[in-house]
Structure 1
Amino acid sequence: MRTTELVDGFRQSAPYVNAHRGKTFVVMLGGEAISQPGFHDIINDIALLNSLGIKIVLVYGARPQINSSIDNAGLSSEYHKRIRVTDDSLLSLIKQVAGGLMLDITARLSMSLSNTPMQGAQINVISGNFVIAQPLGIDEGVDYHHTGKVRRIDVSGISRQLDSHGIVLLGPIAASITGESFNLTAEEIATQVAIKLKADKMIGFSDSNGIADEAGNIIAELMPNDAQAIYEQMDQDDDACSATLAFLNAAITAARAGVPRSHLVSYQINGSLLQELFSRDGIGTQIVTEPAEKLRSATIGDIGGILDTIRPLEEQGLLVRRSREQLEMEIDHFIIIERDGLVIGCAALYPFTEDQVGEFACLAVHPQYRDADRGAMLLKHILLKARKQNYKRVFALTTRSIHWFMEQGFQLGTVEDLPSQKQALYNYQRKSKILVFSL
């Protein structure tokens, strides 16, 4: 019986459901996303995250809605250093817009009709004075009036609500210790909340599905410095990419302050949030913290470190012995994990291009670093590399690690599953088990 796409999807997403349960996500919904026809689908997906045990802080913005209301009211809006100056008349209007959106979002999250994905859901949406603001003050003679910035985050208050399985909803208006209201940016609120809560992820939406390279391909992952370089090259005055610019800047700040991952996905693609979080390859761009360890392609200079890493396993008979000369010839097939200049892990992908198959081989991790899934990290990178080569499958030969490979999604195979060139070299005396991963 052939499995359906639905069944396959459930099975592939299960590990991510388990990994995300109990984690804290800060979701930033810009006004651009709220104005989209597919906004109700985004809200449904956020509600689904809550039902899966993920703690959600939802921060919404209202920039386009505020601009539209200002135009309709015949008012003008002054800017200084790309920051809106909020005088008394604008503050009154912005409070109306922000308050209306808060009620609309709360109503959406309260929906539980039988013909919607939120059937039977009972979500508590909590808004309150969790963000304390302070005025920006006067800069170069320009008084920002009621434009403010974050002074303090009530971390314990937010955490209590999240622990009670509620969704905390925060808007762009926050009160100060003097009882005044200030207009803040959603990006700053989301960033500061993510940092102070030590959130596991910050998620944002834009019209594009992540950050594209010069060829137009979405970049799956960026370090803060690389993201900063891209940000500085983007047109700061381009309204079309304002949401991308705002989130990218926020994600860089969050990453440098310790937020592990920030995801940028498109509000124009239905289900992009779920695809990013619950699929193996994702769909958008992640900005990740600078790691103490680096996973990279190996070079000739790494051969000594690779030999030190694999020799103990070779002596135990767990790996086939490789000479320095052989490694020099095969170094382009290797990736390594480097920590403080030392090689602490390695793996290789040997190509069998004619058969569109790759061999995952020579997996080794230093004994002191075997408790943090570095083997799985190396495997993930090898599988990504194989997909880019358009391989149909990856195989591995092992005598001791059969269950580990099966836990990673490999299935037992036979000699006939090997490419013909490898079949001719198969060592029947060693009796290695053959594991196959279909791509």
Structure 2
Amino acid sequence: MSMVFPHTFVPWFRAVAPYIHAYRGETFVIGMSGELIAAGRLNAFVQDLALMHAMGIRIVLVHGFRPQLDEQLAAKGHQARYSHGRRITDAITLDCAQEAAGQLRFEIEAAFSQGLPNTPMANATLRVVSGNFLTARPVGIVDGIDFLHTGVVRRVDAVTIQKALDIGALVLMSPFGFSPTGEAFNLHMEDVATAVAVALKADKLLFMTDVPGVREQPDDPNSPIDTELALVDARRMLAARKEPATDPADVDYYLQYCVRACEAGVERSHILPFTVDGALLQEVYTHDGIGTMVVDEKLESLREATPDDIGSLIALIEPFERDGTLVKRDRTEIERDIETYSVIEHDGVIFGCAALHPYLDARTGEMAALTVSPAVQGQGDGERILKRIEQRARAMGLSSIFVLTTRTMHWFVKRGFQQVDPSWLPEERKRHYNWDRRSQVLVKKIN
């Protein structure tokens, strides 16, 4: 029997909890490449989906079948044909595609039906719903090439999909569509997932691929992954190419679908590596994630607090009050002073805060309650909040800011603060100085 260690489990679970609250009831469309299944990762991936479903996320799963279709074609001795980055689907290819898709659907539904003890699927009651949710049209003839039964999405039956999600089902979709006359068309998984995400006004579109994401230096294979990419930067990267990406092994291939989704109103689109175990959970339930997220604008923001933030601020500050790092503040005091707080948030979750209490006659101000969540300490959030407080102080015409601390003197000294005697404090603040606590007073000039 494995041991559960409270000293690691409890902080981890508390760090995850804000995301569980934030995403409950939201709709995620997940595009799963056929390579994930070919690599033998289906069961583990399905277990992660079941966990997300159990935590209240509404899921539409669109699967691909490129390697499975190629395998079927090879078995029949039929040559795959491509043009303009699309597969040409003749009658034999269409037959093989339907066979490959049917087999994969069976495997996926079987994986969701496993209720094995001692696995995340134990006690899970997850129903999978499939259907003819797509209307398609043919690609037609392009530059003299007839694409035959290759198609693109014409319309998504969003109403029926929503009804299936409303009853708690996971919706499973294959990259097939049908014309009003009943003709079948082979579609791109990426095209289907993007069209469905847009039609559903999904909160996230996530592609599970065999590429790790967009690198900060695209030409350097050892460069770190850019975990958050602004839409304007993604557009710029794609515009720099001479031709659109057509190879699924090229990260720009998925990036163009992420851009299309964001431009059509999907707030966040992701490129994730299925080769990393639990990549989907890491991307959704951790601060920095693991792949690349494309957003219309940066999700991390510094702003002034509002009354809606009071509960989050209390939850953030309380642990530091209990261990004595911060002076205890009651809820009434925080509510009264809420406009003095600045916060840093990422994807709707507050990870840090600080308050600025001005003493205008002395042209100085106290920065109080500087707090950064343990989940993201060491990533520069404290410094960003400090700069925000300095900006606010300058806007008020203050020439300095000061802090009172008992444990974090060195952090402030590294950032330009100098220790002074408590007698330096403005008279009004000096009257409330706690001589028993013996806090150090540190000052930084800002003008």
Give the TM-score of the pair, scaled to structure 1.
0.70
In structure 1, what residue type is equivalent to 2:205?
M
Q: Does 1:96 align with 2:86?
A: no
Distance (Å, rounded) in 2 between the aligned partners of 1:45 and 1:31: 17
1:241 aligned residue: 249
Deviations along 1:346-378, whole A, 9 cap, x unmatched?
9699xxxxxxxx9956599xxxxxxxxxxxxx9
Deviations along 1:233-252, whole A, 9 cap, x unmatched?
5797785724x333211111
Q: Is the partner of 2:119 in helix, strand or coil?
A: coil
2:378 aligned residue: 387
1:228 Cα deviation from its structure 2 partner: 2.8
Counterpart contact for 1:187–1:246, Cα < 8 Å: no
In structure 2, what residue type is equivalent to 1:419?
M
Distance (Å, rounded) in 1 between the aligned partners of 2:281 and 2:27: 16
1:374 aligned residue: none
Q: Does 1:61 align with 2:64?
A: yes
2:228 aligned residue: 221
Distance (Å, rounded) in 1 between the aligned partners of 2:225 and 2:183: 43
Structure 2: state its 5+ residue gaps: 305-339, 345-351, 359-369, 390-402, 440-447
Q: 1:416 aligns with which of 398, 406, 424?
A: 406
1:53 Cα deviation from its structure 2 partner: 1.0
1:148 Cα deviation from its structure 2 partner: 0.6
1:429 aligned residue: 430
Distance (Å, rounded) in 2 between the aligned partners of 1:104 and 1:388: 42
Q: Is the partner of 1:48 in helix, strand or coil?
A: helix
Q: Does 1:118 align with 2:109?
A: no
1:224 Cα deviation from its structure 2 partner: 2.1
1:145 aligned residue: 148
Counterpart contact for 1:359–1:395, Cα < 8 Å: no
1:142 Cα deviation from its structure 2 partner: 1.6
Count of matched residue pairs: 349
Deviations along 1:373-405, whole A, 9 cap, x unmatched?
xxxxx9989x97x73459899889x9xxxxxxx
Deviations along 1:143-163, whole A, 9 cap, x unmatched?
111111111111110000000
In structure 2, what residue type is equivalent to 1:90?
T
In structure 1, what residue type is equivalent to 2:276?
I
1:325 aligned residue: none
Distance verdict in 2 for CA 1:379–1:181, change over 3 Å = farther
Compute the RMSD of aligned alpha carbons: 3.9
Q: Is the partner of 2:271 in helix, strand or coil?
A: strand
1:265 Cα deviation from its structure 2 partner: 1.5
Distance (Å, rounded) in 2 between the aligned partners of 1:360 and 1:260: 28
Counterpart contact for 2:60–2:171, Cα < 8 Å: yes
1:210 aligned residue: 213
In structure 2, what residue type is equivalent to 1:387?
G
Structure 1: state its 5+ residue gaps: 297-305, 310-344, 350-357, 365-377, 399-412, 435-439
Counterpart contact for 1:209–1:218, Cα < 8 Å: yes
In structure 2, what residue type is equivalent to 1:279?
T
Q: Give identity over the alignment, percent.
A: 35
Distance verdict in 2 for CA 1:81–1:363, change over 3 Å = farther
List structure 1 runs of 4+ shifted beyond 6 angstroms: 234-238, 345-349, 378-381, 390-396
Distance (Å, rounded) in 2 between the aligned partners of 1:176 and 1:159: 22
Give the TM-score of the pair, scaled to structure 2.
0.69
Deviations along 1:200-247, whole A, 9 cap, x unmatched?
0001122233211226111121122311333455797785724x3332
Distance (Å, rounded) in 1 between the aligned partners of 2:343 and 2:18: 25
Distance verdict in 2 for CA 1:359–1:276, change over 3 Å = closer
1:108 Cα deviation from its structure 2 partner: 0.6
Counterpart contact for 2:208–2:273, Cα < 8 Å: yes
Q: Does 1:132 align with 2:164?
A: no
In structure 1, what residue type is equivalent to 2:237?
I
Counterpart contact for 2:246–2:253, Cα < 8 Å: no
Q: 2:261 aligns with which of 237, 254, 275?
A: 254
Q: Is the partner of 1:4 in helix, strand or coil?
A: helix
Q: 1:79 aligns with which of 77, 82, 96?
A: 82
